[in-house]
Amino acid sequence: MESHTSMFEKKIPLVLPYDLEREIFELTARAFPGHALKLCTLSRYVQEWMEAIIYETVVLELPLITVQLFLKTFYSRPASFFAKNVKRIYVTSIIDFDEARQVLAACSGATTVICWADRLGSKENIFQAISPQHVERMSIKLCSFWGGLPRPHQFTGAVFPNLSHLEIVCPPSVLCPFPIEWEGLRELPGLTHLALGHLWHSVHLHLLPFFEKALAEYLNLKVLLLLSNDEDFVDALDKMNILRDTRVVVQEEFNSTTTLVEYWETIRQGGPDFWASADGVIMSPLGYRKVANIE
């Protein structure tokens, strides 16, 4: 009788199903940003789950210490680690062009690719460093993206079958050797969001007819986001009736009404990027409006 009672008094360890345990850890890590690093110390398999969350979104931007910590990890891990885990990669001009190419090449599974690194005379380009068939959202400078290729290239559905969101940063002037291939963009099967900026009256008036063409002929286009704080350029858009189209949004800065620090921290935590604010304007009953940047 005594042994029978003691048997029931013993604590039987609770063993959760593997998938349920993983879900609990992942929900905890996402609900409490910053805790994933602590959870990594529990076990090898929990570390693997947490690293998938930690490296899901990579932002290489100030503060510099976060860039240095990432690069330390980058050079100590195999490329397969980043190909498996990184889904969104944001590279500003804080690292040099060749290093940016190395990072992008390793993150071959990324569906969001943002790279603003400047080519600065390099013979290489960004296009040959990425895996375009996976990319759904992209923000690039055309000179850095195509530069160094022996012949002009353009966006095509065969190369970018899944591209839905495209931002062209620092759009070329009329004299640039890397013009925007509007015909190629029209053929992209999934392109619904197009952004260009920054735009200036003295440099980019030649683009206005193409904006009209895109709004008329890109049948799947839902948002045309134009980044400009040049009042003369915005007035030119208005005079050509481009602003009457309810798909057009004008913002002064890509970070809209948040500070840069707040914007990048939101991105680091897996939050929405600038496309979300543009979508919000389109869905509002007011239609077009100019979104002012924070002071």
pLDDT score for 195: 98
Gyration radius (Cα) of the chain, Å: 23
Residues 21-54: pLDDT tens digits?
A: 777 767 877 778 777 777 777 778 877 888 989 9
What is residue 197's three-state secondary structure? strand
pLDDT score for 21: 74
Locate the domains of the chain by residue range: 16-54, 55-153, 196-295
Phi-psi category of 256—alpha, beta or left, where left has phi over 0 and alpha has psi -120 to 50?
Answer: left
* 8 A C-beta contact, residue 149 and residue 113: no
If one compares 248 and 187, the residue with the highest pLDDT of the two is 248
pLDDT score for 294: 42
Percent of the chain past pLDDT 90, that is, above it, reads 62
Q: Residue 168 forms beta bridges with which residues?
A: 140, 196
Q: Which residue has the tokens 């063993």?
A: 15
Residues 79-98: pLDDT tens digits?
A: 999 999 999 999 999 999 99
pLDDT score for 295: 41
pLDDT, mean of residues 186-212: 95
pLDDT score for 183: 82
Q: What is the largest CA-CA distance in the chain?
A: 95
Task: Tally helices (H) and strands (E) across the chain.
Answer: 14, 9
pLDDT score for 4: 56
Residues 218-233: pLDDT tens digits?
A: 989 999 999 999 999 9
Residues 57-68: pLDDT tens digits?
A: 999 999 999 999
Q: How confident is residue 283, by pLDDT bands cut at 50, 70 and 90?
A: confident
